[in-house]
């Protein structure tokens, strides 16, 4: 069987897909109803007039997955960016250029420390607000709750996931057990804020989270001398997506990651380079074509 490596986003479903691109544009925020567009689908019937736009999309995706060839599948990725971290505060203080050229290479400034930084109080509140938003969106707009949860191993993402979903009423059939995955962490190298903590430290601080077996005790990916590009990191996203799409039972997936990592994902999907705000959630409908052979490290086994 050929590897599942052809991934693309499905346009004309969410407002986020049409926003301005690049670093000097307003950052994309979480929009009402997650920014789903009012539109007709080929599966619409007169009986659907009373249903929410998300219910209509769910019916359409079910139709696409049912009629698709064996080597084609659709999922909704709710791509969340972590809340504000300590490093974000310093970058805002000194400016992006000074941060990238100097401060990001240090471990702190004598007052703040930003090696694998924690969320600020504002960042925690952003994550809690995202949780309240999710509950309302599910209850009012019938947005499906994620069936699987994946997160970067960096502390700011782990805290974001924990704070966002702490009070969410998850059904027994969809238990909340986030899986910690290296492939969706921030672009690694040079910036000390992107150097992760030891595996044992993560296990101690977040005992209910499940860590992929391949994660080493110490961070063997980060280098003080080389920083990944979005294109480099895209290879990790392809591997993650390939493993994710081996699971045909989960259509709605939560992925908590970072600004740079999200843009790397966009390069894989052909999505516009829309920069996201801290604490935001951006949904993307992803189409995968091709069928990968089952692997020993499949995400479905975690």
> Are 282 and 79 within 8 A, CB to CB?
yes
| From 84, 91, 182, 186, active-site residue | 186
Q: Which two tokens stand for residue 24?
A: 């000097």
Beta bridge partners of 254: 78, 149
CB 257 within 8 A of CB 280: no
Is 186 among the catalytic positions? yes
Neighbour count for residue 181 (Cβ, 10 Å): 25
* Cβ contact 184:257 at 8 Å: yes
Helix (H, G, I), strand (E, B) or coil at 76: strand
Q: Is 82 an active-site residue?
A: yes
Residues sharing a CB contact under 8 Å with residue 65, sequence separation 6 or more, in sequence order: 73, 74, 248, 251
What are the b/e assignments for 152-178, b being 16+ CB within 10 Å?
Answer: bbbbbbbbbbbbbbeeeeeeeeeebeb
Give the active site residues.
82, 186
């Amino acid at each position: 069987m050929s590897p599942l490596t052809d991934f693309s986003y499905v346009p004309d479903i969410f407002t986020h897909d049409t926003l301005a691109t690049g670093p000097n544009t307003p950052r994309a925020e979480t929009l009402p109803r997650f920014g789903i567009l009012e539109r007709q689908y080929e599966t619409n019937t007169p009986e659907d007039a009373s249903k929410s736009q998300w219910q209509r999309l769910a019916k359409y995706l079910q139709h696409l997955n049912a009629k698709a060839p064996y080597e084609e599948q659709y999922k909704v990725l709710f791509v969340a960016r972590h809340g504000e971290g300590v490093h974000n505060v310093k970058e805002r203080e000194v400016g992006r250029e000074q941060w990238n050229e100097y401060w990001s290479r240090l471990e702190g400034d004598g007052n703040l420390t930003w090696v694998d930084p924690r969320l600020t109080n504002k960042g925690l509140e952003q994550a809690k607000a995202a949780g309240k938003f999710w509950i309302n969106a599910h209850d009012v707009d019938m947005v499906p709750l994620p069936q699987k949860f994946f997160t970067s191993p960096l502390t700011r993402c782990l805290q974001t996931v924990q704070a966002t979903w702490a009070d969410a009423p998850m059904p027994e059939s969809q238990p909340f057990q986030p899986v910690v995955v290296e492939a969706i962490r921030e672009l690694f190298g040079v910036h000390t804020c992107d150097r992760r903590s030891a595996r044992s430290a993560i296990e101690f601080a977040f005992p209910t989270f499940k860590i992929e077996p391949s994660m080493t005790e110490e961070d063997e990916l980060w280098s003080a001398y080389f920083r990944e590009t979005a294109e480099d990191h895209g290879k990790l996203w392809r591997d993650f997506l390939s493993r994710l799409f081996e699971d045909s039972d989960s259509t709605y997936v939560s992925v908590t990651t970072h600004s740079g990592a999200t843009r790397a994902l966009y390069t894989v999907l052909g999505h516009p380079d829309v920069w996201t705000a801290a604490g935001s959630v951006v949904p993307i409908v992803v189409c995968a074509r091709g069928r990968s052979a089952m692997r020993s490290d499949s995400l479905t086994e975690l």
